[in-house]
A = this chain, B = another copy of it.
Amino acid sequence: MRIAIDAMGGDKAPREIVKGAVQAVKESEDSGEIVLVGDENVIREYIPSDPPLGDRLHVVHSSQIVEMNESPVEAVRKKPDCSIMKAASLAADGKVGAIISAGNTGAFVAACHMKLRRLPGLHRPGIAVVIPTYDQPCVICDAGSNISCKPRHLHQYAIMAGIYAEQVLGIENPRVGLLSVGQEDLKGNILVKASNEYIRKDKSINFIGNIEGRDIFQRVADVIVTDGFVGNVVLKLIEGVGEGVLLAIARDLRKENSELAAPVNAFLSKLARRHDYREYGGAPLLGLNGVCIVCHGSSDALAIRNSVRVAQSVLSHHVNDRIVQRLEQTGNGKNGKD
């Protein structure tokens, strides 16, 4: 099992990326090999020489870097030798089984689209992100790769994210909810109303119907299906509210009960760590003929190490084969075009 990591992508690249890759290799003898893609000279600076990891940690040189604020499609076109494109090429050529990047998400998604084909019958890939609710995690798809969705896209997100939840998170017969503004089937915008009908017809899905914003943290559903615009707003909002609540507690506690401040803050830091997105590593871009893991831009070594685990789990559970099989069974178009 070989996994390529874009060493140049993310706010903390290359130091933390390389560090995470080294940890992943050291940690387990059977975790396969890792290929770091990027500026070879820079990457080598961060690889410790002792113990030697030469046979399990490789470097593939690339001369260009996509910056975080570059226009995605333009960037991958103008920079064919960027680390993102090079990693995607390694996957397309079968030299690695999975690729990971914490760089410009749009550029990574675009490169994966360009280099790897869609799975047969698949209309549009979607990003499946694990939300660390305070009970058991749940998965939201799409988290931002497909801003303009159609009902058939949401239907396939229900299928793909369901398989991911079952195989990788170990949730048996996951409950799938469609994010809307009310629980009744008739509530929602045009996309949601049509998608509800579409998904309900597919008896292979454990569809519980529409769910509302507040249900996400009530653990009503294991899989939350939504379009990439809403999914992205939701994810960033959760991050923001969580931070906001913890900051407010810390601040008000200092003012009103300074004796409690120290022990409570220590406790809250631990709580925040336990529900830290980094513990879940990256999020798979599902639906492509390859395993692509999208990481948060602020990923550190821990996040990268855990992303390697996610990639390994997606590979070892044959998530893509299962998706193709399910699409065939449910009679989804063999040649999805859109």
What residues of chain A have their CB less than 8 Å away from a CB belonging to chain B? 69, 71, 133-134, 144, 147-148, 179-181, 184, 186, 188-190, 192, 212-218, 227-230, 232-249, 251-253, 256-257, 260, 263-264, 267-268, 271, 275
Contacts of A271 in B (CB 8 A): 248-249, 252
A-B contact pairs, 7 of them (CB 8 A): A134-B244, A181-B233, A213-B239, A214-B240, A215-B240, A217-B240, A230-B233
Contact B260 A237 (CB under 8 A): no
Which residue from chain B places its CB closest to the CB of A263 in the assembled complex? B260
Contact B181 A133 (CB under 8 A): no
Bound Cα distance A268, B69 (Å):
39
Bound Cα distance A227, B240 (Å):
20
Known: A181-B228, A212-B232. 13 other contacts (CB 8 A): A69-B184, A71-B186, A134-B251, A180-B233, A181-B229, A188-B229, A192-B229, A213-B240, A216-B241, A218-B244, A229-B230, A237-B238, A238-B241
Bound Cα distance A173, B235 (Å):
30
Contact B267 A134 (CB under 8 A): no
Contacts of A241 in B (CB 8 A): 216-217, 237-238, 241-242, 245
Known contacts: A181-B144, A181-B228. The answer to whether A217 contacts B233 by CB under 8 A is no
Contacts of A180 in B (CB 8 A): 229, 233
Chain B proximity of A130: nearest CB distance (Å)? 15
Contact A181 B213 (CB under 8 A): no
Contact A212 B233 (CB under 8 A): yes
Which residue from chain B places its CB closest to the CB of A232 in the assembled complex? B181
Contact A260 B264 (CB under 8 A): yes
Chain B proximity of A176: nearest CB distance (Å)? 17
Contact A233 B260 (CB under 8 A): no
Contacts of A212 in B (CB 8 A): 232-233, 236
Contacts of A134 in B (CB 8 A): 244-245, 247-248, 251
Contact A245 B243 (CB under 8 A): no
Bound Cα distance A243, B245 (Å):
10
Which residue from chain B places its CB closest to the CB of A236 in the assembled complex? B213
Contact A237 B249 (CB under 8 A): no
Bound Cα distance A268, B249 (Å):
8
Bound Cα distance A159, B265 (Å):
41
Bound Cα distance A263, B249 (Å):
13
Contact B234 A237 (CB under 8 A): yes
Bound Cα distance A276, B233 (Å):
23
Chain B proximity of A162: nearest CB distance (Å)? 21
